[in-house]
Amino acid sequence: MSIETVGVVGAGQMGNGIAHVLALAGYEVRLNDISQDSLDAAISRISKNMDRQVSREQITAQEMDDAMRRISTTLSLPDLGPSDLVIEAASENESLKKQIFDTLLPHLSPDTILTSNTSSISITRLASGTDRPERFMGFHFMNPVPLMKLVELIRGIATDEPTYQSCLAVVEKLGKTAASAEDYPAFIVNRILIPMINEACYALYEGVGSVSSIDASMKLGANHPMGPLELGDFIGLDTCLAIMNVLHDGLADTKYRPCPLLVKYVEAGWVGRKAGRGFYDYRGEAPVPTR
């Protein structure tokens, strides 16, 4: 199936990045959210990020203008119905995702491919609640979307080959690399990454090191560009906890037990950069460790 129009559900950090790269690649994009303020903020962020690309001569001003014209916004999910491809990029909450798909289904054309940007939830389970499990798959972008080169493509048990090939063609047109992952909890990247962040939380919880020493150790000792606690704040500690819970529930192995300190930070609402506080306090001129 040739894909020309793409609907993106959710205008947050992931959704606006997905809309950004799709529009630059020549796709007509319709971006949906429940809040007009979120849609306005997303368009502003996309424009700002493309401006940065123009200033760095990564794209031309004309390419930016053309891409911005390809993006439209809507508060109505049914408006995404005629799309060739829909990418759901809402919060990592299974019941919310199912509710979105239930609302969309009556308005989709028979050939529309339905995908989720979920970072951990079972694609097979999400697909089973739709009328098109064979045309449903995981389409997991990395954050920040315009910079990261990888996209995980996850087939559910019923996903057919034409659906996979259509999504693979989109990834290639975006200039990114696809990694095919089996439909097991957290797939590839987060199966490895999030337990590392959780282990860093345990090291902090048990007093092995401070926030600063743990992050410095991994940056300088393992050549990581960001320390694990800094990265957790960037991803969102609530998202990290949600993925750890998926791993713990799905694999029933105690090594995936979420660290109690991670749970406490989320309970406090200190979920990272987006909240102004996490393992670092971001409300001043420079981030300050909170522990």
Buried b vs exposed e over 90-101: b needs ≥16 C-beta within 10 Å? bebebeebeebb
Instruction: Give the end of a domain, one of 165, 182, 199.
Output: 182
Statement: residue 1 has pLDDT above 80: no
Q: Let me know whether 230 and 157 are in one domain.
A: no
pLDDT at 92: 85
Q: Which of 36, 39, 60, 40 is nearest to 50 (CA)?
A: 60
Q: Scanning the structure block, which residue is given the tokens 């799905």?
A: 250
Residues paired with residue 31 on neighbouring β-strands, in sequence order: 8, 73
Residue 190 is among the residues annotated as catalytic for this protein: yes
Instruction: Exactly one of 38, 117, 152, 230 is catalytic; name it.
Output: 152
Range of the domain at 223: 190-289
Q: Let me know whether 284 and 159 are in one domain.
A: no
Q: What is the mean pLDDT of residues 178-192?
A: 95
pLDDT at 30: 98
Instruction: Exactly one of 20, 190, 198, 230 is catalytic; name it.
Output: 190
Per-residue pLDDT of 89-142, as tens digits, reads: 998 889 999 999 999 999 999 999 999 999 889 999 999 999 999 999 999 999
Instruction: Give the end of a domain, one of 153, 182, 211.
Output: 182
Q: Let me know whether 46 and 157 are in one domain.
A: yes
Q: Let me know whether 176 and 197 are in one domain.
A: no
Mean pLDDT, rounded, of the chain = 96
Q: Kindly report the CATH number assigned to the domain that includes residue 41.
A: 3.40.50.720
Q: Let me know whether 208 and 101 are in one domain.
A: no
Q: Is 65 annotated as a binding residue?
A: no
Highest mean pLDDT among 88-92, 194-198, 243-247: 194-198
Q: Kindly report the CATH number assigned to the domain that includes residue 215.
A: 1.10.1040.10
> How many domains is the chain partitioned into structurally?
2
Q: Let me know whether 54 and 176 are in one domain.
A: yes
Q: What is the mean pLDDT of residues 217-234?
A: 97
Specify burial of residue 120 (Cβ count, 10 A radius: 0-12, 13-18, 19+).
buried
44 — pLDDT class (breaks 50, 70, 90): very high
Give the Cβ contact number of residue 223 at 10 Å.
7
Q: Is 33 annotated as a binding residue?
A: yes
Question: For strand 288-289 and strand 280-281, is the pairing parallel, antiparallel, or unpaired?
Answer: antiparallel
pLDDT at 62: 97
Residue 152 is among the residues annotated as catalytic for this protein: yes
Q: Let me know whether 79 and 174 are in one domain.
A: yes
pLDDT at 222: 97
Instruction: Give the end of a domain, one of 158, 182, 206.
Output: 182
Amino acid of residue 291: R
